Every structure is written in structure tokens, then in C-alpha cells.
């Protein structure tokens, strides 16, 4: 958790990490229980809140879009159809989000357990906080990379502990999306995964590879090609450094 003051100049005025024995293997209910407890503390009162969900709790799909999809009901049914084909999940049990800014291209859609979203929202009801948004990490990070991706052919890499997402674009249009689990030595795994994908891409090489996340200095990619590699991160603020405060990077993705 991190709180940003926007008076005069933005700065981080409070930070807190809640740890629990179950680690990444815990059910999302463990996270919501911790959220309920910490939101009662004075440091987090009377503010606008944004919740960023780890990709461990979110499923994604690249959905072909059409300008003929008009109503929200039609769009949700279309998105749900593709998720059911991919994951076999019942549509009623999931909360879907999608970005349909390209009428006849492909869009990234996300699916989260409806009970998880409802429980997060309920955690704020008895506080003085105003919950403004609940965002999947991939969506929040992409919004931070939008300028670099617009109109370009790039690969966007989003690693976090235990999981990595790789999205590719061509001419500003989404081409592919892959999310998979990685082990404790995720830096080496991600580097090897990208090298393999570059070898298989052949004539469809990106103009650049962008990695988003705090403290990615250990992600050493010595590409055999001349493709530029750039690390993006939440911007440094008084009270926060993306290099020394990496545990707060995911939370700050939604606000800075």
C-alpha cells in the first residue's frame, strides 16, 4: 500500500506492506482479509483509492472486436464467449473488463472472480476512503506504456514475482498475449523466454522490447539482434524509489 499526496508536488507520505505465511499460494480471500484490517488504520483515511490486482488473480484474453457490437450486454456476451472457449469458466462467475477503442481490431479483455471484486469494494464501505477504481495490473501498466506503444510494433513485458505477461503489437494493433507462471529465478526465465520468442519471430521482429516494473535491473537481456530494450517503471517521487522500494511499485502503477 502507498499513499500519494498531491499538494504542491506529488510525494509518497505513507507506505505499508502486509505479509502473510501463505505467500502467493494463498487464496484471494487472504488478501481481502488483510485489506480489511489495514484500511482501519488512520494513515489510509480520507483519500481516493485505487486497487491494482496482481496478475495472479486475473485471466486475460485477446478478443477480436467489431463495430457491430453496440450495447454493453452484447459486448459482455462476446467477451464471455471467448473466455469460456479459452478457460471453460462459467460467464456468470466472472467480472469482465475490455478496451474496445479499436472498432475492428483486437482488444485485451480481463476476467476476475466476481466475488473478489465485490469483496474488495465491500472492504471500503465502512471507511472514509473513496474507491475510484479496481484495475488489473496488466491494464494499469499498459496505460503507463501507452505513449511508447502507440502506432509501434513492440513487445511489452510485465514480470512480477511468480508470473510474467508478454503482449505484442504491430502498427499499434494487438497481435498476441501470453501469461504464464515463472519460478523464483524469474529474471533468467523471462530472459530465456524472450530470446526464444525472438528466434521464432524471424521476420516479425519488434522495433523495441519494453519491460514495465520497478527494480528490473537484474533483467539482463543480451539480445543477439540489435533490438532496443527499455525498462519502464513508476516514476520516482519523494518518498519512493523504483529501485529501492520495488514492493510498492504495483500499487503505485495505478496513480503515478
Domains and CATH numbers, the chain: 2-252 (3.30.420.260)
pLDDT at 225: 62
Q: How confident is the model at residue 22 (pLDDT cuts 50, 70, 90)?
A: low
Rounded to whole angstroms, the Cα distance separating 152 from 169 reads: 7
Taking the C-alpha atoms of 170, 172, 175 and 176 in order, what is their torsion angle to the nearest 10 degrees? 110
Tell whether the model's pLDDT for residue 25 goes beyond 70: no
pTM exceeds 0.75, yes or no: yes
Rounded to whole angstroms, the Cα distance separating 139 from 18 reads: 24
Q: What is the distance between the terminal CA atoms of the chain, rounded to a whole angstrom?
A: 13
Tell whether the model's pLDDT for residue 204 goes beyond 90: no
User: Do 55 and 110 form a contact (C-beta atoms < 8 A)?
Assistant: no
- Name the more confident of 10 and 23: 10
Quote the cell numbers at residue 150. Answer: 502507440
Tell whether the model's pLDDT for residue 188 goes beyond 90: no
pLDDT in tens, 47-74: 999 999 999 999 999 998 888 888 999 9
pLDDT in tens, 174-184: 888 989 888 87
Determine phi and psi for 42, rounding to 5 degrees: -60, -30
Q: What is the percentage of the chain residues whose pLDDT exceeds 70?
A: 89
Determine phi and psi for 39, rounding to 5 degrees: -70, -15
pLDDT in tens, 121-134: 999 998 999 999 99
The least confident of 115-119, 144-148, 160-164 is 144-148
pLDDT at 24: 55
Amino acid at each position: 500500500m502507498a499513499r500519494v499526496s498531491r499538494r504542491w508536488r506529488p510525494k509518497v507520505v505513507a507506505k505499508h506492506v502486509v505479509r502473510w505465511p501463505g505467500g502467493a499460494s494463498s487464496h484471494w480471500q487472504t488478501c481481502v482479509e488483510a485489506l480489511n484490517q489495514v484500511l482501519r488504520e488512520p494513515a489510509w483515511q480520507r483519500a481516493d483509492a485505487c486497487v491494482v490486482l496482481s496478475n495472479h488473480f486475473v485471466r486475460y484474453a485477446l478478443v477480436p472486436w467489431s463495430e457491430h457490437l453496440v450495447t454493453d450486454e452484447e459486448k459482455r456476451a462476446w467477451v464471455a464467449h471467448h473466455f469460456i472457449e479459452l478457460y471453460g469458466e462459467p460467464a456468470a462467475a466472472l467480472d469482465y473488463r475490455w478496451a474496445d477503442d479499436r472498432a475492428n481490431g483486437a482488444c485485451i479483455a480481463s476476467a476476475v472472480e466476481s466475488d473478489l471484486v465485490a469483496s474488495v469494494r465491500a472492504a471500503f464501505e465502512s471507511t472514509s476512503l473513496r474507491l475510484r477504481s479496481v484495475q488489473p495490473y496488466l491494464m494499469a501498466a499498459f496505460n503507463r506504456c501507452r505513449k511508447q506503444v502507440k502506432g509501434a510494433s513492440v513487445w511489452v513485458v510485465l514480470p512480477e514475482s511468480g508470473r510474467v505477461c508478454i503482449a505484442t503489437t504491430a502498427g499499434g494493433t494487438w497481435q498476441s498475449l501470453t501469461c504464464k507462471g515463472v519460478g523464483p529465478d524469474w529474471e533468467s526465465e523471462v530472459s530465456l523466454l524472450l530470446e526464444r520468442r525472438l528466434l521464432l519471430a524471424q521476420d516479425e521482429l519488434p522495433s523495441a522490447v519494453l519491460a514495465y516494473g520497478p527494480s528490473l535491473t537484474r533483467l539482463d537481456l543480451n539480445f543477439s539482434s540489435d533490438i532496443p530494450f527499455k525498462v519502464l517503471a513508476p516514476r520516482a517521487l519523494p518518498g519512493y524509489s523504483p529501485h529501492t522500494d520495488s514492493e510498492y511499485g504495483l500499487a503505485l502503477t495505478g496513480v503515478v
